[in-house]
Amino acid sequence: MQSAAEKVRVGAAAEAAVEAALAVAGWEVINLNELAKNFRFADLLAKQGSTRLFVQVKGTTTSEGKFGALPERAQGLDSLAEHLDAIALYALVHLTPDGPVIRFGHAQQVASLAAERIAAYHGTLRYHLFITDFTYEAADLAEFVE
């Protein structure tokens, strides 16, 4: 089990990696946690032209690239983004010794996958997603969100 300090370190490293990847791909990025001290639904707001993204960042150091994501949180992010005429995404960041692996998925896809896996597991399921569940990278986002 990770300590609170380790969770904060992993989260900050994951957010920094996503911010950098989005900036390289031409997105203007605002870290919402710096504005609101741990913003509830999303970590980043990214903008490119008239397209706006709310991005929830999840980081992991597990060898298999496993992530916890609750369906209700993903649905909440999706509802907020829809209300604000934006797109809701999750950025999954697998922090490996060779560097971060970042993949993006729509919040609704995250909610569906997590709900399916929770329903299929009889007990407490800590990890709901895997990095291999998603294929889109920051460079692909303009095409992915159209």
Phi, psi of 137 (to 5 degrees): -110, 170
Residues 103, 80: Cα–Cα separation, whole Å: 22
Closest-CA residue to 55 (of 28, 63, 96): 28
Predicted confidence (pLDDT) per residue in 19-77, tens digit:
999 999 999 999 998 887 777 789 999 999 999 999 999 999 999 999 988 899 999 99
81 vs 8, more confident: 81
Residue 102 in this model has a pLDDT that exceeds 90: yes
Looking up tokens 């706006």, which residue turns up?
52
The model's pLDDT over 62-87, given as tens digits with 9 standing for 90+, comes to: 999 999 888 999 999 999 999 999 99
pLDDT confidence bin for 5, thresholds 50/70/90: confident
Q: pTM here?
A: 0.92
| pLDDT tens digit sequence for 127-145 | 889 999 999 999 988 888 8
pLDDT band at 112 (very low <50, low <70, confident <90, very high): very high
Whether the predicted pLDDT of 98 surpasses 90: yes
The one-letter amino acid at 76:
G
User: Which structural domains are found in the chain, ordered by start?
Assistant: 4-144 (3.40.1350.10)
**HEC string of the chain?**
CCCHHHHHHHHHHHHHHHHHHHHHCCCEEEEHHHHHCCCCCCCEEEEECCEEEEEEEEEECCCCCEECCCHHHHHHHHHHHHHCCCEEEEEEEEEECCEEEEEEEEHHHHHHHHHHHHHHCCCCCCCCEEHHHCCECHHHHHHHCC
For range 98-115, the mean pLDDT: 95
Does the pLDDT of residue 1 top 70, yes or no?
A: no
